[in-house]
Amino acid sequence: MAKLCLYFQLHQPYRLRPFSVFELNRGLDYFALGSEQHDDNAAIFRKVAQKSYLPMLSLLLELVTIHPSFCFALSCSGVFLEQARAYQPEVIGLIQRLVDTDQVEILAESYYHSLASLYSPAEFAEQVKLHTALVEELFHFTPTVFRNTELIYANFIAEQVEQLGFAGMLTEAVDRYLGGRPRTQVFRSYTGKPLPLLLKHAQLSDDVAFRFSNKNWEEHPLTSEKYVHWLNNYYPEEYINLFMDFETFGEHQWEDTGIFEFFRHFVGRALHFDHHFVTPASVLEPLANHPKTLDSLPVYDVPDPISWADIDRDLTAWRGNSLQHDALRLVYSIEADVIKSGDRELLRDWRRVQTSDHFYYMCVKWSADGDVHKYFSPYDSPFEAYNRFSAVMVDLQDRVRLGKSK
């Protein structure tokens, strides 16, 4: 009998088209993957929608209808929502219906799924604002809890998020900062004015997200009986925070692995064993409004940024080598000029290249992490990703420079 807090991440980047010196200064669309006639970004989105977004959203809708006490949270990047609107509008419709049940919460994040929180507080704040505006427009819902790109978190990020007025944040539970304390309690940030925090239960989340269909895993096959049995070991006041990619259902784990059936039975069975589903806002908002209780929470002090990625749960997936460092330096080195230009297309393109995926593709870690990266990358190699990105940055720089001289 524990409290189960589920959150699923919906995100798709605008991947870059092949771009090299031969494409420079020709006014091409950087994000028409494949060609402008046949944009693979659209094709990829529709494929994932068929395999995952549409069936899983439909299943979730069915489950909230059957079980009035079942609730969960979704976080949708702005670039995801844009592409959904353009390529598969039913996805928006289904999310709308889920939100309308009042059993589904939408989380705040940066519109471009960017790393701006690490580089530019002003740009970060702007992207968060843009995202909230889009969520309000589409779903008539105002997010109150924040989750950063890839659950990236540090004290200085919590500071920024607190100043933006959010009631709390989600992030990863990293052992080197937990110091042996259970991850199933609510923590508070180590900031001037604290924010309440929910920390991901990596093991139980990844049992579903990564290991579900792994035949070499000793627990394979994972049944809802077994899974709920594990949950039964927790006390009623504990929060089990199951955070994962939405694409876990149908895309990372294909339909034939039984993932949908697993989830359907899991919800019924968890309720049967008296577990309570909660949403982040329902837990964190009351705390945020109660300074005394908030101050009594254990402190989660994270001086160096963490994330939910790879074995080390750090930032090396996005900035672990000089290719990534220099690419990121370039992006934020033109910030002031791009903003000043007042050129809306330039601003939009500059923000789209901030999406964290572009830097993830340049990762060259060769361990098991590399396999995951390879799975998620549309390019042949991290070097190809870097070459494309660099050429796009040259083109963006030229637009900035030529715009100024006009």
Partner 1 sequence: MRDTQHRVFMVGWEYPPHNSGGLGVACEGLTQALAEANTQIFFTLPYRFPATVSHMQLIACQNPEEIEAVLRGSGPPLLSYSPGLSPSLNFATKDSLELATLPQSEIEQRVNYYADQVLQVGSQLRRKYDLIHAHDWMAFPAAMKLQEKVKKPFIAHVHSTEMDRIPSGHGSHYIAHTEYLGMQRAERVIAVSNFTKRILVSKYNIDPNKIDVVHNGVTPASRLSDEHLQFATERPMIVFMGRLTAQKGAEYFLQLAKAVIDRIPEALFVVAGHGDQYHSLLFQSAYQQLSASVLFTGFMRDHQREALLSRADVFVMPSLSEPFGLVALEAAQRQTPVIVSNNSGVKELLHHALKADFWDVGKMAGYIQDLIQNQDFRQQIVAGQNEDLKQATWDNAAGNVSKIYTKLLEKK
With respect to partner 1, which residue has the nearer C-beta, 287 or 400? 400
Q: Of 148, 334, 315, give the one whose Cα is nearest residue 243.
A: 148
- Part of the chain binding partner 1 (CB under 8 A), chosen from 94-102, 193-201, 336-344, 378-386: 378-386
**Residue 207: which H helix or E strand, with range?**
helix 202-209
Q: Contact between 406 and partner 1 (CB under 8 A)?
A: no
Identify the residue among 20, 69, 163, 289 touching partner 1 (CB under 8 A): 20
Q: Which among 105, 150, 162, 238 is annotated as catalytic?
A: 150
CB neighbour class for 236 (10 Å; exposed up to 12, middle 13-18, buried from 19) = exposed
CB 392 within 8 A of CB 19: yes
Separation CA 359–CA 319 (nearest Å): 7
Give yes or no for residue 363 binding partner 1 (CB under 8 A). Answer: no
Q: Does 25 bind partner 1 (CB under 8 A)?
A: yes
User: Taking CB under 8 A as the rule, does residue 26 contact partner 1?
Assistant: yes
Residue 102 CA to residue 71 CA, distance in Å, equals: 8
Tokens of 378: 């549309």
Is position 159 annotated as part of the catalytic site? no
374 binds partner 1 (CB under 8 A): no
| Nearest-5° Cα angle at 294, 6 to 292 | 145
The smaller minimum CB distance to partner 1, of residues 91 and 391, is found at 391
- Report the site for partner 1 in 308-347 (rule: CB under 8 A): 321-323, 325-327, 329-330
Q: How many Cβ atoms from other residues are within 10 Å of residue 38's Cβ? A: 10
Q: Which of 283, 357, 390, 400 binds partner 1 (CB under 8 A)?
A: 390
Residue 60 vs 331, nearer CB to partner 1 = 331
Q: How far is the CB of 38 from partner 1 (least distance, A)?
A: 21
By beta-carbon proximity to partner 1, the closer residue of 42 and 394 is 394
Q: What is the dihedral sign for C-alpha 208, 2, 301, 7?
A: positive
Alpha-carbon separation of residue 37 from 12, 28, 31, 221, 389 (angstroms) = 20, 12, 12, 43, 21
Give the nearest distance from C-beta 322 to partner 1 in angstroms: 4
Q: Return residues touching partner 1 (CB under 8 A).
A: 20-26, 321-323, 325-327, 329-330, 383-384, 386-387, 390-391, 393-394, 397-398, 401-402
* Catalytic residue ranges: 150
